Amino acid sequence: MDITTKQTVLIIDDDQNEVMLTKMVISEINPEIGMDVAFSGEAGLTLLRSGRPLPELILLDLKMRRLSGIDVLHHIRLDDRLKHLPVIIVTNSALESDKQKSIEAGADDYLHKAFDIERFSGDIKSLLERYLVKVGEN
């Protein structure tokens, strides 16, 4: 996977292990992709509103303490500066209702984390290919 300019993915998840796994998977797919991490919904929103360059993609966990993924998504979609950002809800939940809620709240995609890490890696890869700008497309 070739990416010309430095592109960044923001991971918002309150589980350190999950974050670590996701980071490992992404850097294995493409070590060039930059990654920012926020360990809570609030931290994620603060980071997005801090004036730093915006990420190209947000991987947002659904089930978090305090602000949930859906809450964070609402804030993003209501913020003129942020609302255009692609957001993928990445979760352990296989509930159809959770997927429904996420799409209604404005998620661009919904990923149920596969138990098998290799399948998970494959799923992440195809999402990155869909949402990050590839060589020659720029």
Binding mask 106-125 for another protein (x = CB under 8 A): -------x-xxxx-x-----
Minimum distance of another protein from residue 123's CB (angstroms): 13
Decide if residue 93 touches another protein (CB under 8 A). yes
What is the 3-state secondary structure of 74-136?
HHHHHCCCCCCCCEEEEECCCCHHHHHHHHHCCCCEEEECCCCHHHHHHHHHHHHHHHCCCCC
Minimum distance of another protein from residue 112's CB (angstroms): 11
Number of residues that bind another protein (CB under 8 A): 15
What distance in Å separates the CA atoms of residue 102 and residue 64, rounded to the nearest whole number?
A: 14
**β-pair partners for 89:** 60, 110
Nearer to another protein, 103 or 117 (CB): 117
Interacting residues with another protein (CB under 8 A): 15, 17-18, 21, 24, 92-95, 113, 115-118, 120
